[in-house]
A and B are shown apart, each in its own frame.
Chain A
Amino acid sequence: MAVASIDMSKPVPLTPMAVVAKALVFLATGLLLFAAYTVYMIGQPLFGVIVTIVALGFLFVFGLRRFYFARFIYPGIATMALFVIFPIFYTIYLGFTNYGSFNLLTYQRVQEVLLSSKIVDKSTAIPFAVAAEGDHYRVYFEDAGAGGYLSDLVALDGSTANVGASAVNSAPEVLLERRDAIKLRKGLAEISVTLPDGTELRNAGLREFASVTPEFQIAPDGNATRVTDGAVFTPDHATGFYTNAEGEQITPGWRTNIGLQNFERIFTSDGIRGPMISIFIWTVIFAVGSVVFTFALGVTLASILQWPHLRFKAAYRILLILPYAVPAFISILVFKGLFNQNFGEINLVLEALFGLRPEWNTNGFLARCMLLMVNVWLGYPYMMLLAMGFLQSVPEEQKKAAALEGAGMLRVFWTITLPQILPPFLPLLLASFAFNFNNIVLVLLLTRGGPDMPGTIIPAGETDILGSFTYRIAFMDSGTQFGLSGAITLLIFILVSIMAYANFVFMRRAANKG
């Protein structure tokens, strides 16, 4: 193989092009570093660090001539580092945090949320209307008695302002329609109006202004005091919540490192460990079953198609690979409809023929059978196509010789054909196993994991595989428990690593042989 080379010893002539190129490299690095800083500031410090590394790498690779060769692979490596490798490890890191629907924000954001939380004094509520005057507005409050208060001019453009108000005898002649006043609600939310008696009113709903006081005050040391009863809440960084002496917690909390708690939950809580074990077993059964059945069916069909006496081969072939050609998400949804136990076509046919109405959706065992059947339907064409390729490499003479010795077709297949196609097939079977081990598209679209197992703490279904189980914990029904989901991801990661390594070794062997 030729080794590409460039002459490193020659200095690069300083052409205008080269100067422009250098300038562009610096500009791009600057932009990336700025992006990294912004990412850091919005509460993703880890991702910010990775972006910084990518930016510096970019500067070195494209700025220095000695890294010329790395320029070819840098873009690919950088995107993979950012959006494949980093996210996997970040997901696992999240497994050591309490990140979830109650602890979604950063500590700073939680303080802001607490400070912006207000208590509305209902007794002071007073309906308001808005009068336009040029591009400014006045807020008018109708008093229960006669007359009312009219505020000074205010812009209502979203800036904070405090305006005074004076008593008037009658309402301004033209008041905005309620609908138009509602359109101004963003501006209204930012202003406060001080009445002549000194009460400060703020917008409290679509129709009213009222006296509004902040619910919490936060001292410089971080302690929050509830204004109404003076209770002091201290930030508890171990749990990620503000707590007072009585153990009362304020939501929202913030994300914080909680060590091994998620793992403790997984391994000690029966409501999680039980379903986890059964889901793991089912995941393995599902993956093995899918591989074995698709392989068996694929090889069988390929052998028949290979038979010299068979006619219409091309037509059979194209029809047989049709399930592979149709986008999987469409086929799976079609099956979801067909298998519907109340009004699906499959039960319609089964009832007409045999008087059966299998409970595909509510019976765990049947749901699992359905999942496997659909997966075999989806997967056999791939195996068949591969098998057709490998079958061609089996020498015809050997089969003939065996047949002359009196071996039947099945015997020839088991003793001559299969042993020869199995070795090249093995890595692909392993890859197929790994794929099905994480085949969450099928599960999410066909059953969403259902039917649910009884008596679990977090929703777990009979047909859930590990991947769909974590997906559901993170993004569906039970609320978003990203932390717990990340912890389970670590377990899957370990399993996938073992498979990936095994596959790697197999591939290596296959490559060395071939």
Chain B
Amino acid sequence: MIVENKRTLFWQKLVAHGFMLGFLVIIMFPFLVVISISFREGNFTVGDLIPRNPTLEHWYLAFGLDYTRADGTVIEPPYPVLLWMWNSVKIALIAAFGVLIVSTISAYAFSRIRFKGRAGLLDSLFIIQMFPTTLALVALYAIFDSMGDISSAIGIDSHGALIVVYLSGVMMHIWTIKGYFDSIDSSLDKAASIDGATPWQTFRMIFLPLATPIMAVVFVLVFIGVINDYPVASVLLRSEDQMTLAVGSRLYLNEFKYLWGDFAAAAILSGLPITVVFLIAQKYLVSGLSDGAVKG
């Protein structure tokens, strides 16, 4: 700290870097292995970390292409990975837009409009958001199972049902955006109100343009959250063509049909875009997360 001995400092640095590097080796191990496996022949663990006879077979299959081996046998893709990706992205985009619209408007009202029961409503919504959706899975299944009798577009195995469920998860995001609105100077909306703007106009003309940064954060949060959801999607989606990535990927590691190599390529292909999005956004995401959580 202040009295720093050059010698001890050297050793301390050495220990620190050594610890970091050692730790990183353990942390990175899965990533390295998966990359290696995706280029390895066959679907079982044999061979070294650096593949001896690298092959693009798993990558062809992940992209949905047939692969012809050297001996002439044609391998067909086991699962429609790109279709699953498209399903995930489609559902996530729609849900993220929907959540954004609903939560921004609600957050404005909670932040700027005084109405009766506001504090009580906020408190109860805050408590409700802590109940996980997993508690409601059986009922969601039962409800959408019957809804399927009305129209298959909102029944089991439809993307519509899934989107509706994701749309209902707005509470946390209302909190995040409300925290942001609370920090906006109130003289802005006072001025607007003096000029005769209705609350809706104030929201539309003043708050919405100001909220772009936090809206981007919420959008990415919902997007990633939806893509990562497993429990709800696994209950509501049944057929292979309708599955999202999170539900479908599991099929690769079935005990009776263990496609380790194919899985590795598919996992990198589908995981990479989301990882990149996250890394770009992470600085804002983390501050948004902790702010939204702490600002009661």
Q: Which A residues contact B (CB, under 8 angstroms)?
A: 1-6, 35, 38-39, 42-44, 47, 68-70, 72-73, 75-77, 79-80, 82-91, 94, 99, 301, 304, 307, 309-310, 316, 318-331, 333-338, 340, 343-345, 348, 377, 385-386, 389, 399-400, 403-404, 409, 412, 424, 427-428, 431, 434-435, 438, 440-441, 444-445, 467, 470-471, 474-475, 482, 485-486, 489, 492-493, 496-497, 499-501, 503-504, 507-508, 510-512, 514
Contact = CB atoms under 8 A, between A and B. Distances in A.
A43 B295 CA distance: 43
Instruction: Tell me the dominant secondary structure on chain A's binding face.
Output: helix
A414 B30 CA distance: 33
B136 A91 contact: yes
B54 interface: no
B274 A327 contact: yes
Interface in B1-21: 1-3, 9, 12-13, 16-17, 19-20
Nearest to A84: B168
B60 interface: no
5 contacts: A79-B170, A87-B140, A386-B290, A441-B231, A504-B130
Given A76-B171, A80-B168, 20 more contacts: A1-B111, A68-B199, A73-B110, A79-B170, A91-B139, A304-B16, A310-B17, A316-B20, A318-B279, A325-B274, A325-B278, A337-B253, A345-B45, A428-B293, A438-B134, A441-B228, A444-B234, A471-B134, A475-B137, A508-B296
A309 B24 CA distance: 19
A88 B293 contact: no
Contact of B9 (A77, A309, A496): A309
Contact of B250 (A320, A327, A403, A445): A445
B82 interface: no
A88 B249 contact: no
B93 interface: no
B210 interface: no
Contact of A5 (B27, B31, B193, B263): B193
Interface centre among B123, B171, B189, B267 (most CB of A within 10 A): B267
Contacts of B239: none
Given A43-B146, A80-B171, A333 B137 contact: no
Contacts, number: 299
A471 B231 contact: yes
A99 to B, nearest CB: 7
Contacts of A4: 112-113, 189, 193, 199, 202
A438 B150 contact: no
Given A2-B112, A69-B115, A330-B249, A501 B127 contact: yes
A511 B16 CA distance: 36
Contacts of A471: 134, 137, 231
Top 3 nearest A-B pairs by Cβ distance? A511-B296, A72-B109, A87-B136
Interface in B104-121: 105-106, 108-115, 121
Contacts of B203: 72
